[in-house]
Every structure is written in structure tokens, then in C-alpha cells.
């Protein structure tokens, strides 16, 4: 028979080219005569290169090399080299996007099949799965419409019955639509072309045409392809060459292989060609299989043949090594380093073969570290290109109603300029971030965002903390000259004008009938109109002061393909029902994710390294290199998950006659086997963790490990893992970094601190250095959730309002009044409903406790002479060595009781300091406030009271949690034989000593110098690199 195989350990295409040349007897004209049919375009290009290698680059005529996957009337030539038959008249194929749009419309109408009506972004992937199912059926020569009644048995679940009813409707409605449009399913058309080509080849065989016709590289074929291959074998010059047929496997084993075995596809192929292995001539296989091929064949035997493992034959696996990196990133670094090592050797080629496009992208990035520009032949997903990402971000922004994170994601996108230069736009976006978007999120909607900008600009002229936050990053942005914020907001509004025209896209939450309702769900429009509006918005965003949108968004291969696909989608989606804007993000993801584009953003294509190759599984078929790295060998990646799909279960597929999902695993297994045997050196790589989760190694690795372990062997580790750790490991013995000891000039040291900052100065001087010398301010989070600080603010504000009104005149209905005050303050906050419901009863309990505590105090101490709340004060220390030092503070409450003693109170909703910390100066807030009172630091206190007061009568904390114990009063004692006034004076003396010490430039600002007294919240711990030196602390006492 006209059947041959090239053993798996030999480079398939090189040997195919060599055999073709030998069959031509070296005659240049004969070499160029004939046709070679291959499975795909990549293999066709690679075979051309193989011919050139065999001819040492000499010019010659090549045979026609045709990929069967690109079949059309002209390509395989129904009037071709092999004859002059007339062409056939087939309707044109339906465009992929149009087909999916029509099927999506059918899915959207099938509410009963899913329980609830799917949205467009949910229906499109279902339509894609439905199209794939129809393609499978047409390749397998299965008439779905005729076979569907056999798919469901009576004992199947009702939802399968419902789905099959829908499929029955689709399989009848879809052909009718195609006929009405004069179109044809792409696969059905290709099947028809293959059968027409097979008929032509049979006719040529009958005529005795001796033109050479080879079909090579097919491993697992459907009926139409098998028919074409049988026609090739019938020709006088016909030959079918299959890759890597295992001729040594027992016949009984080969005849009953599971679909997931590497040889299962070839077994099905031979059966379809009415051939057995004895009919296949083995090219260049006289010497038998090399040791590596034999070992892999035995390791991958099916379970029914595992008795072969008991044979005591020696097993050798030469030039095969293993990578066991910790995660995907370490895997990428190791592979890049390994490939860089290979190309150190002249003329050697290194190839990474993996279905994991994420791993491929990481390796491309890591190779650039070594000055190697590589290209992932699998391309990049169109949705992941800059233009595709920006489209989705704008769609998400509208859906999220201009939330801070979504808005900054758009404004900081590399393509966005809003009509400015990119530098000015980015600086303006950062200014907007610092002024408005950091901290609690403004209410939803663009109008609310604009109002928040106006409020923030007004506030930051008065709020010292806000001024610090705004100025924190101003220095870096100053060279770009950010626009004034209101001007920038007008510019942003102009860019977003198309989407802001959508009803409710610009509204605030309180305008909605239901605050949980998505704003975009109430408005629907034709999908082409939504897309056109989205595109116009994106075009406005990408315009710069010198470039138009077309120059930035639609240029290059990526931009051209993106524009083409969006145009196709707008035309096809006209048949869909009106949709809310919320579906745009999911729709774009579903449509554009399937498109692959060759990315050239990394540099000049001519600069790509010719000996560094990155292939997907399909691109790698029939190809090899000197060193091959098989990456991502993990279950679910390589091999893929064998899924039946959403439309049919496995039993249903079997009853209909569709191929089993395991056939895909079998093809992946053949790819693994072919790649692992043909190269000179093979590296098998599987990370221990993937996306944070433990990895199950590919079944072939587990089989190989078990096979070798039975003989006391294992696959050796590649030394690249040691190289990897050495490259980033510093020379010499590791030494912990020393704690920082900055000693800035005294002139740069702060001359003004708040009372609360004095505690920070005691516990973490480095934080004072970072904040006041380096002027580094910790930024609030984006969309900062309400937390303990907001709870404390509500408590402080309510008590400040109450006691400023009812300080010396206590009302009879105090509890109800204070509770109403808490409710008013709570109502003014923008909080999640669940959080509001959680806090309200706690605040009511606090109000009750405060009233009880206050009334009990007044009953024993009498009516206070004065109660002042939220008092601001300051005291200067004029005799400091390098000029006056000012202490500022704000007291929650200062009382003068009936005996004119001062009681200083502080409200805490969190942890209280211990009495020991207060006495020894670690928590000096209340004593320092008392010292400020004694020095007349609070100007709002009545002058007569301040002059007559000579004693501090109390330093009191109120711990207000609202929990099981709503509140507690903790009075601080000064200690044995010492008054609170003395404690205040001692604390003042300690402060002066500290000021004097830090007025000496030799005094460093240490980080966490006192073990056990670290601050509860350390904003600058990472800046001070505390985790690096904490285990080797140098305890410098101050």
C-alpha cells in the first residue's frame, strides 16, 4: 500500500524533504513537480525551509506545498496540477461573526432551555459552543437533526430534554437561514471541497496519472479527510506519510487503545484507510527505536499492557531533564535562561512548546533581560492588545458608573491623552487621584464626581491633611504641568460625552428607584449603536495634541485587525435585540478573545532572534529543534480538560455518534510524545503551583516517574535551576541590612509636631523623619471602605455636637436626644446599607452609656463650670537649641468641674493605652494636653478659669465600642506620691529633652528602636525595610 511512517525520533519535515528529493533522483525539474498536502500553514512554511536546508540555500523549484486547512477551490486546485476538472459551484462560507450573531439571537430567544433568559454576554459564548458542536458534527459526518431524537433516554434529567428540544429547533432553523442567505457553513463547505478533491484524485488515478502526490503529517482525521487520503493512496504517484507510528506495540494493545493514548489517533486513521500497521513502510527505521523512544513508549502504555513494565530490560532516557520550578514566574525565568544558554552554541536552535500563552508571554519578557527578542508564534489575543484593553476598560467604567478605580484605569492607559500630551494627561490624572479619588469613593455617576472635585478643591484650601496629600506627588508632576482640575474635568467630560448621553449613566445613586439596581440595565439600545458610541468615546480619549485617533488606535497589524473585527461585529449584531450597555464588556471579551494577532510592539520584526522559537501545540506539529522545552506540563493545561461542552453530556454525544472529548487529550498526548522524542535535548517543565494553587503534573510525567521509579531511576533535574538562583544571589555570605540611621541637617528637622505625633516620635522616630523631612505621605486607598476610623469619626462628631450644646445645661431627655444626634450624624455618611445597619444599634448603645456615665459623674461632682469640645491649641518651647519648637493639638473634651479642677477626656473606639505607657511617656497624649492647659495653650478656654486653675483633676479615657460592654471609663493615675499636675510637668520635661536631643545633628531617626514599644500602625515600615533587619535588631536606646 501507499503508506509510510517516519519514526518519532526523526525530524519529520526534514526527512520528508529528503525523501522527496531522493525520489526525484536529484533532478531539479523533477523536484519541482508534484503536490505535497500538509495539515496546516505553519507546517507548509516549515517544509519549505526544510527543502532550503537540504539544498544548502541553492535556488530551486519546489513542489506545490498546500495546507489542507486552507482549502478552497483554487488552492487544492479542482483544476490543478493533477488535471483539468471543472470547478464546483459552492455558496460562499458564512462569516464567523455573522454565524455567531445569528446563533446568539436563537439562544436569547430560548428562555425555556436555561430557566432564565441569558444576557447577550452570556449567550455569545453559548452560541460559540453551539457553532463548535455543529462543526464537530459536520466533520464527523453526523446529521444532528436526524440523530438528536436518539440522544436522550427517558431516565435523563429534564433539563437535558429541554436543551435537546432547543437544539432540534436550531438544527432546523439554521440551515433554513443559510439557504435564505445563499451561504454555507464553513466546515460543511470544506468537507464538500475535500470530497470534490477526492473525487478528482480518483478520476486522475483511473487515468493513470503518475504525478507525485503526497499527503503527510495527518494523525487523527475525520471521514472527509480520510476519504481524501484514500484517494491519494489510489493515485499512481500517491503516498500518505504518517508521523511517529509505533510499529513495536503489541497488535492486541494497538487495536484497543483508549482515545487518550498518543497512538489512538493513528489507530483510528489506519482503520479509516482500511490498513493495518503491516501495510506501513517505516522510513529510516531499520536500526530500531533509540533508547529514549523505547522508554517513552513503554512508560505511556495503556493500563491493559502494563505487564510490560515487569520486564527487566535496561531503561535509558538520554538527554532528557526536568524542571520543577516553584511557580509560573520561576518557570519562565528558568526557561528563558535555558534558551539563552542554548544559543551560545553556533547554529543551535531552542524551542519552547506550550499551549500556555501566559507562560509564552512571560518567557518573551524574560528573554529580553538577556537581550534576546523572541516572538510567540501563537500570537497575542486581540482582547489583550492596548486597543482591546482600552475598549473593555471604558465599557467597565460606564458599567461601574465612573468609580475611582475604573476611571483611573482608563485615564492612566498608555493610549489615553484626552487631547493633551500623554505626560500632561497622566500628571492631571494623578492630581485628580490625590485630590478626589483617594479615600472613600464619591457617589456614583460623572455629575457626582464633578461635584466631588469642586468640594475637594474647596476643602483642600482649609484642610491641612488634604494639602499634604495633594502636594505629596506634585514635584514629580511639575515638569508636565498638569491642567487645573476643573479644566481637566471639563476635558474629560467632553471625551466621555458620547457615553454620558446614555440615560442614567451620569446619575447619582439617590436618583435610582433602587439603590442596588445597575444603572445600565434600565436603558437598552441596538448593539451597533452601543458599539459605535463606545468607539467614538475611545477615539476621543486617545487623541493627543499632535495625533489623531487613527494614528494611535487603528495603526499596525493589531489596530487594523481590531478595526476589522469591530466593523464585522457592528454589521453582524444588527440582527440582535436591543441590549443594555452592561453587556459590552462581556461581549467584547467573547468576540475578541478568540482572535490571535502577531504582536510587534516589542521591536522590529527583523530583530527577532532566528534560533529562539516559541510554538503552540499546533504550530509545533511536525517541527523540532536542537533543544526543546515542553512547558506547562500540568493537568488542565497540557493535556487540556476533556469537556463535553454545555450542550450535550458524554452519553448524549456517544449516542449521537460524535467523537469523545478524550480524542483531544489523545492528540495532545501525541504532540507530547512527538516533541519529546524528535529533539536532541528535551526539557520537561511543570511548576509546583499555578495561579496560587497546587498543580497536578501532566499524566505523562506521572507515568514516566512511576515507570522509572520501579527501576530506581528518575529524570535528572536540569542545572538551570541552580543557575537561576545563582544569578540573583549576591556574592559572599548573606548579611542582614542594618536598620536605617538617617541624620538630616537640623534645619530640615520639624519644628512643629502635634500631640499625637509625639507618641509616634517616641515609638518610631523614623516615621517622623519620613513624614516631615522626606515629606512622604501614605496615600489613602482607592475606594477606601468605611472602617474603624469612620466609626470613630461618627462617635467624635456626635459627642462634639452634643456637649457643645448641652455642656453645662443637661436636658431631661438626654438619652433620646443623644441617640437622635448619633442618628443624624450617621445618616449624613455614605455607607453600605449592611454596614449602616451594623453600626446603628452599636451607636445607640454608646449614646445610652454616655448619658448614664455623664449623669453619674454630675451627681457626684456637681454641675461642671465649663465643658469645651474639639479645642485646638498650641504651645511654644522658645528655649530649644535651634529655635522655638511648637506643640499643637486638639483635645476631644476639657471639663472644669465645680471645684475648678481640669478633667481632660479623650474618646477611643479602639484599643486604650495602658496606665504604665502613659506614666512612662510612651502614650503622652493626655499628659501633654494637660501641660498645654497649664501653659495657656488653649485660647478658647475662659481666661479666668485658666488663671485660677492650678491642678489637673483627671486624665480620663472613654472607651466607646457599642459592643456587649458599650463603654468604659478609664481614669489614668499618676503613680505613687505624684499628682496628675506633676505627671503633666514631667511629660513636658521629657518632651523638651527629646527636642534638645534631636537638635543635635548626630542624633539619628531610628526605626522601631525599642522592642515591645513599636507603634500599632507603621506606615513607613517597608520604607525602613523593617522586615529585613528585624531579626538582627540593633537596640539603640534614645
Kindly state whether residues 981 and 903 are assigned to the same domain: yes
Assign 78 a pLDDT band (cuts: 50, 70, 90). Answer: very low
Q: Are residues 162 and 198 in the same domain?
A: no
Residue with cell 529580553: 368
Cα separations (Å) of 829 from 650, 791, 826?
55, 10, 5
> Considering only CA atoms, which of 370, 319, 333, 371 is closest in space to residue 627?
319
- Mean pLDDT across the stretch 502-515? 51
942 belongs to a structural domain: yes
Whether the CB-CB separation of 334 and 685 falls below 8 Å is answered with yes
Q: pLDDT class for 574, splitting at 50, 70, 90?
A: very high
Q: Between helices 386-399 and 556-572, what is the axis angle to 10°?
A: 50
Q: How far apart are CA 794 and CA 825, in angstroms?
A: 6
- Rounded Cα gap, residues 338 and 350, in angstroms: 9
C-alpha angle with apex 250: 247 to 254, nearest 5 degrees?
75
Percent of the residues in the chain that have a pLDDT greater than 70, as a whole number? 90
Residue 312 lies in a domain: no
**How far, in Å, CA of 741 to CA of 759, rounded?**
19
pLDDT number for residue 87: 57
Q: Which of 131, 163, 183 is the last residue of a domain?
A: 183
Domain that holds residue 505: 382-597
Same-domain status, 833 and 951: yes
Same domain, 257 and 404: no
Query: Phi first, then psi: what are they for 323, rounded to 5°?
Result: -120, 130
CATH classification of the domain holding 29: 3.40.50.300
Among 257, 290, 299, 245, residue whose Cα is nearest residue 677: 290
Identify the helix (H) or strand (E) that includes residue 955.
strand 952-960
Distance in angstroms (rounded) separating the CA atoms of residues 59 and 5: 29
The pLDDT tens digits of the residues spanning 925-955 come to 999 999 999 898 998 886 544 455 558 889 9
Asked whether the predicted pLDDT for residue 1036 surpasses 70, the reply is no
| CB burial string 780-809: b at 16+ within 10 A, e below | eeeeeebeeebbeebbbbbbbbbbeebbee
**pLDDT reading at 471 higher than 80:** no
| List of residues 6+ apart from 346 with CB closer than 8 A | none
**Residue that the C-alpha cell 526536568 belongs to:** 322
Amino acid 86: pLDDT? 52
Task: Report the pLDDT value the prediction gives residue 737, as an integer from 0 to 100.
Answer: 84
- Work out whether the CA dihedral 104, 109, 111, 113 comes out positive or negative: negative
Q: Lowest mean pLDDT of 71-85, 562-576, 735-749, name the range.
A: 71-85
Q: Residue 523 in contact with residue 503, Cβ under 8 Å?
A: yes
Q: Which helix (H) or strand (E) holds 854?
A: helix 833-861
Give the mean model confidence (pLDDT) for residues 342-368: 94
Q: Which of 441, 580, 431 is nearest to 519 (CA)?
A: 580
Identify the pLDDT of residue 406. 95
How far are the Cα atoms of 879, 881, 955, 988 from residue 996, in angstroms, in the given order?
9, 6, 27, 12
How would residue 603 be classed by pLDDT, with cut points 50, 70 and 90? low
Mean predicted confidence (pLDDT) in 739-748: 95
| Residues 405, 360 share a domain | no
Average pLDDT of the segment spanning 624-632 = 96
Residue 849 sits in the same domain as residue 995: yes
Q: Which band of pLDDT confidence, cut at 50, 70 and 90, is reported for residue 1035?
A: very low
Query: For position 1037, what pLDDT does the model report?
Result: 39
The answer as to whether 951 is a domain residue is yes
Predicted local distance difference test score (pLDDT) of residue 520: 43
Q: Of the given ranges (164-173, 542-551, 861-870), which has the lowest mean pLDDT?
A: 164-173
Lowest mean pLDDT segment, chosen from 141-145, 278-282, 333-337, 714-718: 141-145
Say yes or no: 120 and 79 in one domain.
no
**CATH value at residue 795:** 3.90.320
Same structural domain, 591 and 639 = no
Higher pLDDT, 885 or 599: 885
pLDDT at 688 over 70: yes
Which one, of 1024, 984, 582, 541, lies nearest residue 763 by Cα? 1024
Compare 462 and 763 and report the one with higher pLDDT: 763
Higher-confidence position of 165 and 36:
36
- Calculated CA dihedral for residues 300, 302, 308, 313, nearest 10 degrees: -10
Residues 55-73 have a mean pLDDT of 80
SS3 921: coil
User: Which of 568, 597, 626 delimits the end of a domain?
Assistant: 597
Q: Return d(Cα 277, Cα 1033) in angstroms, integer.
A: 74
Cβ-proximal residues to 752 (8 Å cutoff; 6+ apart), any chain: 885, 886, 887, 888
SS3 label, residue 374: coil
- Helix (H) / strand (E) containing 214: strand 213-216
- Same domain flag for 351 and 407: no
The pLDDT of residue 480 is 64
| Residues found in the chain | 1038
Same domain, 25 and 138: no
Nearest to 244 by CA among 2, 46, 5: 5
**Span 24-51, pLDDT tens digits:** 987 888 999 999 999 988 899 999 999 9
Q: What is the dihedral of CA 923, 929, 934, 938, to 10 degrees?
A: 170
CA atoms of 525 and 531, how far apart (whole Å) = 10
Residue pLDDT, tens place only, 231-251 = 999 999 999 999 999 999 999
Does 398 share its domain with 527?
A: yes
Residue 340 lies in a domain: yes
With contact defined as beta carbons under 8 Å apart, do 204 and 83 qualify?
A: yes
The stretch 998-1015 carries a mean pLDDT of 93
Exposure pattern of 904-926 as b/e (b: 16+ CB <10 Å)?
Answer: bbbbbbeebbebebbbbbbbbbb
297 found inside a domain: no
Number of domains in the chain: 5
- pLDDT of 312: 82
Q: pLDDT value at position 172?
A: 86
- Residue 348, burial from CB neighbour count under 10 angstroms (0-12, 13-18, 19+): middle
In a domain, 1037, yes or no: no
For the chain, counts of helices (H) and of strands (E)? 41, 21
Return the closest-CA partner of residue 915 out of 983, 967, 1010. Answer: 983
Full-model pTM: 0.85
> Which of 579, 597, 615 is a domain's end point?
597
Based on its alpha-carbon atoms, the radius of gyration of the chain, rounded to whole angstroms, reads 39
Q: Record the cell numbers describing residue 1005, joined without a space.
A: 531617626
User: Angle at CA 57, nearest 5°, toward 56 and 59?
Assistant: 120
Question: Is the residue at 194 inside a domain?
Answer: yes
Q: Can you tell me whether residue 405 is helix, strand or coil? A: helix
Tell whether 587 is covered by a domain: yes
pLDDT at 509: 43
d(CA 1037, CA 573): 73
481 vs 891 pLDDT, higher one: 891
Q: At residue 787, does pLDDT exceed 80?
A: no
Cα separation, 899 vs 778, in Å, equals 45
Q: How confident is the model at residue 113 (pLDDT cuts 50, 70, 90)?
A: low
Q: pLDDT, tens digit, for every residue of 946-997?
A: 455 558 889 999 999 999 899 999 999 887 778 999 999 999 999 999 999 9
The whole-number pLDDT of residue 115 equals 65
Assess whether pLDDT exceeds 80 at residue 922. Answer: yes
**Can you read off the three cell numbers belonging to residue 657?**
455518534
For residues 64 and 102, state if they share a domain.
Answer: no
**Which of the pair, 85 or 612, is modelled with greater confidence?**
612
**Which of residues 119 and 341 earns the better pLDDT score?**
341
DSSP secondary structure, 634-689, as one string: BTBTTTBP----SS--HHHHHHHTPPPTHHHHHHHHHHHHHHHHHSSEEEEE--SE
Amino acid at each position: 500500500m501507499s503508506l509510510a511512517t517516519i519514526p518519532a525520533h526523526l525530524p519529520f519535515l526534514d526527512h520528508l524533504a529528503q525523501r522527496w528529493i531522493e525520489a526525484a533522483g536529484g533532478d531539479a525539474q523533477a523536484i519541482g513537480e508534484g503536490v505535497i498536502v500538509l495539515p496546516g500553514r505553519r507546517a507548509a512554511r516549515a517544509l519549505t525551509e526544510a527543502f532550503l536546508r537540504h539544498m544548502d540555500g541553492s535556488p530551486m523549484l519546489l513542489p506545490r506545498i498546500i495546507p489542507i486547512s486552507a482549502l478552497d477551490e483554487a488552492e487544492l486546485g479542482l483544476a490543478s496540477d493533477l488535471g483539468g476538472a471543472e470547478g464546483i459551484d459552492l455558496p460562499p462560507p458564512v462569516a464567523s461573526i455573522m454565524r455567531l450573531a445569528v446563533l446568539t439571537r436563537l439562544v436569547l430567544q430560548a428562555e425555556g432551555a436555561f430557566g432564565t433568559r441569558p444576557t447577550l454576554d452570556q449567550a455569545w459564548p453559548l452560541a460559540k459552543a453551539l457553532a463548535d458542536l455543529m462543526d464537530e458534527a459536520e466533520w464527523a459526518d453526523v446529521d444532528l437533526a436526524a440523530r438528536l431524537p436518539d440522544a436522550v433516554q427517558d431516565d435523563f434529567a429534564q433539563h437535558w430534554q429541554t436543551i435537546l428540544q432547543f437544539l432540534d429547533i436550531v438544527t432546523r432553523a439554521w440551515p433554513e437561514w443559510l439557504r435564505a442567505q445563499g451561504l454555507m457553513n464553513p466546515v460543511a463547505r470544506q468537507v464538500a471541497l475535500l470530497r470534490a478533491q477526492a473525487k478528482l484524485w480518483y478520476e486522475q488515478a483511473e487515468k493513470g496519472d503518475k504525478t507525485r502526490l503526497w499527503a503527510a503529517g495527518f494523525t487523527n482525521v475525520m471521514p472527509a479527510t480520510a476519504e481524501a487520503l484514500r484517494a491519494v493512496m489510489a493515485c499512481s504517484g500517491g503516498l500518505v506519510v504518517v508521523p511517529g507510528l509505533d510499529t513495536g506495540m503489541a497488535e492486541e494493545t494497538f487495536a484497543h487503545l483508549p482515545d487518550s493514548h498518543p497512538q489512538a489517533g493513528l489507530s483510528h486513521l489506519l482503520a479509516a484507510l482500511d490498513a493495518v500497521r503491516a501495510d506501513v513502510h517505516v522510513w529510516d527505521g531499520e536500526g530500531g527505536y533509540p533508547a529514549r523512544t523505547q522508554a517513552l513508549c513503554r512508560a505511556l502504555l495503556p493500563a491493559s499492557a502494563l505487564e510490560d513494565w515487569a520486564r527487566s530490560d535496561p531503561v535509558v532516557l538520554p538527554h532528557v531533564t526536568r524542571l520543577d520550578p516553584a511557580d509560573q514566574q520561576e518557570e519562565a525565568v528558568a526557561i528563558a535562561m535555558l534558551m539563552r544558554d542554548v544559543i551560545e552554541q553556533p547554529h543551535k536552535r531552542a524551542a519552547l512548546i506550550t499551549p500556555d500563552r501566559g507562560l509564552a508571554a512571560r518567557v518573551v519578557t524574560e528573554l529580553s533581560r538577556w537581550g534576546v527578542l523572541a516572538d510567540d508564534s501563537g500570537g497575542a489575543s486581540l482582547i489583550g492588545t492596548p486597543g482591546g484593553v482600552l475598549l473593555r476598560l471604558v465599557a467597565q467604567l460606564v458599567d461601574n458608573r465612573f468609580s475611582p478605580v475604573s476611571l483611573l484605569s482608563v485615564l492612566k492607559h498608555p493610549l489615553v491623552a484626552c487631547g493633551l500630551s500623554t505626560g500632561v494627561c497622566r500628571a492631571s490624572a494623578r492630581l485628580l487621584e490625590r485630590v478626589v479619588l483617594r479615600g472613600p469613593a464619591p457617589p456614583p455617576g460623572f455629575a457626582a464626581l464633578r461635584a466631588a472635585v469642586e468640594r475637594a478643591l474647596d476643602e483642600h484650601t482649609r484642610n491641612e491633611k488634604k494639602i499634604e496629600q495633594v502636594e505629596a506627588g506634585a514635584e514629580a508632576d511639575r515638569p508636565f504641568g498638569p491642567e487645573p482640575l476643573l479644566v481637566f474635568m471639563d476635558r474629560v467630560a467632553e471625551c466621555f460625552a458620547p457615553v454620558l448621553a446614555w440615560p442614567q449613566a451620569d446619575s447619582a445613586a439617590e436618583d435610582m428607584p433602587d439603590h442596588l439596581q445597575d444603572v445600565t440595565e434600565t436603558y437598552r439600545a441596538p448593539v451597533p449603536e452601543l458599539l459605535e458610541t463606545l468607539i467614538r468615546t475611545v477615539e476621543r480619549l486617545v487623541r493627543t495634541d499632535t495625533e489623531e485617533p487613527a494614528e494611535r488606535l487603528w495603526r499596525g497589524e493589531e489596530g487594523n485587525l481590531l478595526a476589522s473585527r469591530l466593523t464585522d461585529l457592528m454589521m453582524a449584531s444588527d440582527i440582535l435585540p436591543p441590549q443594555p450597555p452592561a453587556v459590552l464588556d462581556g461581549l467584547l471579551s467573547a468576540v475578541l478573545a478568540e482572535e490571535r494577532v502577531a504582536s510587534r510592539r516589542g521591536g522590529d520584526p527583523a530583530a527577532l532572534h532566528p534560533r529562539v522559537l516559541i510554538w503552540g501545540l499546533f504550530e509545533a506539529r511536525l517541527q523540532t529543534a536542537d533543544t526543546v522545552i515542553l512547558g506547562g506540563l500540568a493537568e488542565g493545561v497540557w493535556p487540556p480538560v476533556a469537556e463535553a461542552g454545555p450542550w450535550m453530556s458524554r452519553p448524549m454525544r456517544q449516542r449521537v455518534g460524535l467523537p469523545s472529548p478524550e480524542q483531544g487529550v489523545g492528540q495532545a498526548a501525541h504532540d507530547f510524545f512527538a516533541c519529546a522524542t524528535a529533539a536532541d535535548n528535551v526539557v520537561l517543565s511543570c511548576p509546583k503551583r499555578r495561579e496560587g494553587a497546587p498543580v497536578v503534573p501532566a499524566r505523562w510525567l506521572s507515568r514516566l516517574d512511576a515507570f522509572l521509579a520501579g527501576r530506581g531511576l528518575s529524570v535528572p533535574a536540569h542545572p538551570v535551576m541552580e543557575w537561576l538562583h545563582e544569578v540573583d544571589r549576591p556574592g559572599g555570605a548573606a548579611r542582614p541590612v542594618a536598620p536605617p540611621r538617617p541624620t538630616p541637617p537640623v534645619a530640615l528637622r520639624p519644628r512643629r509636631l502635634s500631640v499625637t505625633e509625639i507618641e509616634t516620635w517616641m515609638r518610631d522616630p523614623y516615621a517622623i523623619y519620613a513624614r516631615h523631612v522626606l515629606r512622604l505621605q501614605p496615600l489613602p486607598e482607592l475606594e477606601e471602605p468605611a472602617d474603624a476610623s469612620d466609626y470613630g469619626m461618627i462617635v467624635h462628631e456626635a459627642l462634639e455636637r452634643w456637649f457643645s450644646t448641652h455642656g453645662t445645661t443637661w436636658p431631661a431627655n438626654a438619652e433620646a436626644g443623644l441617640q437622635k444626634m448619633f442618628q443624624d450624624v450617621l445618616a449624613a455618611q455614605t455607607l453600605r446599607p449592611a454596614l449602616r445597619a451594623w453600626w446603628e444599634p452599636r451607636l445607640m448603645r454608646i449614646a445610652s452609656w454616655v448619658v448614664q456615665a455623664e449623669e453619674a459623674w454630675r451627681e457626684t461632682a456637681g454641675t461642671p463650670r465649663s465643658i469645651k469640645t474639639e479645642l485646638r491649641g498650641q504651645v511654644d518651647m522658645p528655649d530649644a537649641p535651634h529655635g522655638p519648637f511648637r506643640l499643637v493639638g486638639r483635645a476631644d473634651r476639657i471639663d472644669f468641674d465645680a471645684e475648678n479642677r481640669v478633667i481632660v477626656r479623650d474618646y477611643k473606639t479602639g484599643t486604650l493605652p495602658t496606665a504604665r505607657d502613659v506614666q512612662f511617656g510612651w502614650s503622652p497624649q493626655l499628659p501633654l494636653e494637660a501641660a498645654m492647659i497649664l501653659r495657656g495653650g488653649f485660647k478658647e478656654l475662659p481666661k479666668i478659669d485658666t488663671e485660677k486653675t492650678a491642678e489637673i483633676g483627671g486624665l480620663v479615657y472613654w472607651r466607646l465600642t457599642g459592643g456587649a460592654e458599650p463603654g468604659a471609663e478609664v481614669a489614668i493615675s499618676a503613680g505613687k506620691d505624684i499628682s496628675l499636675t506633676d505627671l503633666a510637668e514631667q511629660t513636658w520635661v521629657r518632651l523638651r529633652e527629646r527636642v534638645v536631643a534631636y537638635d543635635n545633628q548626630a542624633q539619628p531617626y531610628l526605626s522601631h528602636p525599642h522592642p515591645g514599644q513599636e507603634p500599632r500602625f507603621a506606615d513607613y515600615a517597608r520604607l525602613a525595610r523593617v522586615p529585613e533587619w528585624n531579626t538582627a535588631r540593633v537596640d539603640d536606646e534614645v
